[in-house]
A and B are shown apart, each in its own frame.
Chain A
Amino acid sequence: MNMETIEGMTEYCNKVCETNNWILNKDQGTLNELIDGLVENKKNYGYQSCPCRLASGNRDLDRDLICPCDYAPLDIKEYGACYCNLYLRSDFYDEFDSDFILVPERRPPEKEEAVLEFFNK
């Protein structure tokens, strides 16, 4: 699959859902924006960094942000949605009476500090 295309990235995200028993956001406009962001990041950085977080462009520093990010499983389990609301828990639409969930940032602050240091060099 070519993840630099909308179709390829959508296929990838669907496979992530199958593997993890998650579902994709059913709001088509939201989903399209999120997939567009992932495609853009894949083209710019070479990897599908989380579209809702600032990537450094350094793969080692951004490794935890490559979609699905390291924090998605816990966020989806705890809040019903990943940080971006791209991936949702399979029971999301039965359990939550909201269009979106504000998921707090779980990424350790040290990771952001490392990125800032990288920008400073």
Chain B
Amino acid sequence: MAEIINNLAQTVEGSKKNRDITILTLSTCMWCKKCKAWLKERDIQYRYVDVDKIEFEEKSKILTYLKDKFQSRISYPFMICDEEHVIGYNPGKYEELMKSGGK
């Protein structure tokens, strides 16, 4: 994971830690809140960065990292689950990801 994300991310503790989950979110975004709630309800540990709350330079670094790494558009919530990612609130895909992998 990019150092910039590691430095800025806040951890929400959960008992399920088999997947490394980071979500890039907006503090104002209802879908991002639903994503956080989805993880919390399942007691899944995750990290998040509210991208609208960080400095321009940090925004630039994170957005550039996401674009380079995933070669995709950036919408929120942007979930990174180990090496996979899901763009937008998508409980169906979250379920698949949680079932499919893990350390």
CB within 8 Å of B: which residues of A?
30, 33-34, 36-38, 40-41, 51-55, 84-85, 100, 102, 105, 109, 112, 116, 119-120
Contact = CB atoms under 8 A, between A and B. Distances in A.
CB-CB nearest 7 A-B residue pairs: A37-B28, A51-B28, A33-B30, A119-B60, A52-B29, A119-B56, A119-B59
A109 B73 contact: yes
Q: Is the interface of B mostly helix, strand, loop or mixed?
A: helix
A51 B88 contact: no
B76 interface: yes
A41 B64 CA distance: 24
A51 B60 contact: no
Interface string B11-43: 000000000000000111111110000000000
A119 B4 CA distance: 15
Contacts of A34: 30
Contacts, number: 56
Interface residues of B, number: 24
Nearest to B26: A54
A57 to B, nearest CB: 9
A116 B60 contact: yes
B51 interface: yes
Contact of A105 (B26, B27, B29, B75): B75
B52 A55 contact: yes
Residue of B29, B64, B67 with most partner-chain A CB within 10 A: B29
Given A102-B89, A105-B73, A119-B56, A51 B29 contact: yes
Contacts of A54: 26, 51-52, 59, 74, 76
B7 to A, nearest CB: 17
B63 A119 contact: yes
Contact of A116 (B33, B57, B64): B64
